[in-house]
Each structure stands twice: as structure tokens, then as C-alpha cells.
Amino acid sequence: MAVAATIFLISFNGVVLGGVISGVERDLATFQYGNLEILNEKEGVIDKPDYQLVASVTRHPLVEAAAPRILTLAAEVSHQTPNRTHTVYNVTVVGVDPFLEPKASRIFNSVAAGKPQLLKGTVLVGRDLAEDLGLEGAKGLLKVKIRRVTGEEVSRYVTVSGIVVSSAAGGLNHILIVHIDQLRELLGWEQRYSTSLVVKLSQPEKADEVAAWIKMQYPDYQVKTPREAAKNWLNAIIEGVSFINLVGYAGMIASALAVITVLTMMVSGKTRDIGVLRALGVSRKGVILLFIFDGILIGLIGAAIGGLVSSLVALWLENYPVAFFGNLVLEVRFNPLNLLFPMVVGFVISVLASIYPAWKASTYEPAEAMRYF
């Protein structure tokens, strides 16, 4: 059972943590970056009208939708309650197009309270930001202060339309979402420019192909996949997952010790039987092979049970997704081949662990073993 439990632990870690990585990539794409994100890192602003860029990008047959965004910081956002004024500084503000954004992302689907709509003079507030501002439900009047490039500070009062909730990867819980035209006015932009364009693809697996096509059209712009845009964050998660998997494989040592203990106890309990076998002419090699066969049997049974339980759990998680780690819904894809490696490792370790007890059993001489009658 130790072998089965260890195989299950490793497989379960692989399924859950693999689901975490897939879920993070999915939320990065559906909320923050799209399947592709177009930027002008040199200038900081995409210096072409948004409608022109959207029309150009959507000519590609794999592009379903595209939407412009403006990302900036509000110097402060405040909300007056009967008891006090709640103020939060350096708040991330995202300006979106209420007509194009629903086609390109799931931001409006993440509204947990209030109305999933955005007009000039209204905002959507992230759940955690709403708590910091002392909002009670999807209602309230906020004062937003923006500092322009010129140093001038501009303030506007806006009404809360809804509260948005996402996983940490979705990145919506601490931000303020406003109408893109209103944010342009606050920033003093006269042109319909944006800081990025998010692109939704009908076949996300062909993102590199579409990115190459966009770069040919706009060589001065950068085109990034979610994995590239959030490279540091994703790498940290992947490194953590690798470490946890390493700990799981280190647990195989414990299962090996369990196999050694079981077989050693078996040798001690079967001393007289070993003596009979040796007296009947069974060679030392035969005794060794006998106990190694026991190790093989333990490994096969453990691998089978561990693989079966792991498969059932993985299939259940694939068909009935659960949320972990702050609203992150796991995206599990069951692949039987992923079970093969831990099962083989468990089996091999079980066989190797049987070598010492087998050798110990072979050292008994017939006369010595017969004393245990």
C-alpha cells in the first residue's frame, strides 16, 4: 500500500498542479492578456487609432475579436462613508471598450454583483479594492484622481456599476475598470490611442502563427502570448510545481523502506521454510529470485492500485472542476501517459528494495535455518 499511496500522491500532485498551471494560463488569456497582446513597448502607446488596428488585425481568419485597452495608475481613489473617507493610492486603472471587450475577454462575465455594463461615469470595481474602499455592494460614488504626463492632476466622480471577481491569475480583484473614452479624457489624450490591444483566437494553439503575421503587418509593435507576457509569474509557479513534484518522488524512498521492512519481516518469519527449500536443493540464486518475485508482485499491485485510484480522481476532476487557490478553477486534462512514469518508478523502486531482503534470505544455510523448527 505504501507504493500505491506514493504513486497516487505523485500522480495527484501532477494532476492538480498541472491543472493549476493550465488554469492560470487560461485566466491570463481570458481576463488579462487575451490569446495575444499587442504592445508598443518603445513608445508606451500604440500610436494608431484603435478602430484602424482592430479592423486590420481581425482580417486574419483565426482572429475572432480584438479590443483596445488603456492601462494606467490612478494617484488615488476615495470613497466617502458616513464614518470616514476610505482612500487607496496607486490603483491600477484599465480602460476598456464596452462594445469590443465582451467579444475579446470575459471581464464582463466576472461581474459578481451589480450590472455587467460600463458607461461613461460608471466603473467596475475589483472585489478586494471594493473592500478597501468600504463599499457595501455594487453601489457608491468614487472620486478618481489621475496624474497626467504633464504633472496636472485631474479628478472625476464616478458611480460604481458592479463588482468584479476573478482568480489571482485573472488579476481583476484589485483594479478599477472604466470606459476607455473616459480614461482618454482623464489622461488628456486627443487621439483614439491605446496602450495595448488584446486579441482572441479561434485556435489558441496557433498563437505563434498569428503573432508572426501581425508582426509582419506592424514590425514596430510587440506581440506576446500570455506565457510571454506573464513570464516571471508563470516561471515562479512552474518552479514551485517542480519542487513539489521532487518532494513527491523523494517520498518514494519511504515506500522503498516500507518494502524492505515488509520483506525483511517475511524473511524472519519464513526462516524455517527457507531452510526446507535449501535442504531440498534450492540454490541461493533460487531463494534470491523468490523474494525478488515478491518485490515484483508488491510493485505490480501497488502500481496498479495507485494508477487506478489516480485515474479515477483525475477523471473526476476533469469532469467536475473545482476551485482552489482563490477562485482558480482547475483545468485538468487527463492523460494516461502521465501516470506511466510514477507507476514505473514505483515498480522499479519496489523491485530494487527487495534485493537486500532477498540477499539476506539467501545467506541462511540449511542446517542453521532448520534450527527454527
Residue type, 5: A
pLDDT above 80: residue 13: no
Average pLDDT over residues 107-132: 91
| 276-282 contacts at long range (C-beta below 8 A, 24 or more positions apart) | 276/369, 276/370, 278/364, 278/365, 278/366, 278/369, 279/366, 279/370
pLDDT at 197: 94
Which pLDDT tens digit goes with each residue over 313-333? 878 877 877 766 666 777 777
pLDDT at 294: 76
List Cα–Cα distances, 106 to 10, 51, 73, 110, 250, in angstroms.
34, 20, 22, 6, 41
236: CB partners within 8 A, 6+ apart: none
pLDDT above 80: residue 199: yes
Q: Domain ranges in the chain?
A: 2-23+240-370, 36-224
CA angle 59, 22, 345 (to 5 degrees): 135
Query: Is pLDDT larger for residue 335 or for residue 85?
Result: 85
pLDDT above 90: residue 103: yes
For 117-230, where are the alpha helices, taking DSSP H only? Answer: 127-132, 180-187, 207-217, 226-229
Which pLDDT tens digit goes with each residue over 35-74? 999 998 777 889 888 889 999 999 999 999 999 999 999 9
pTM of the model: 0.72
Average pLDDT over residues 1-6: 64
pLDDT at 342: 77
Q: What is the mean pLDDT of the chain?
A: 82
pLDDT above 80: residue 231: no
pLDDT at 326: 61
pLDDT at 359: 72
pLDDT above 60: residue 147: yes
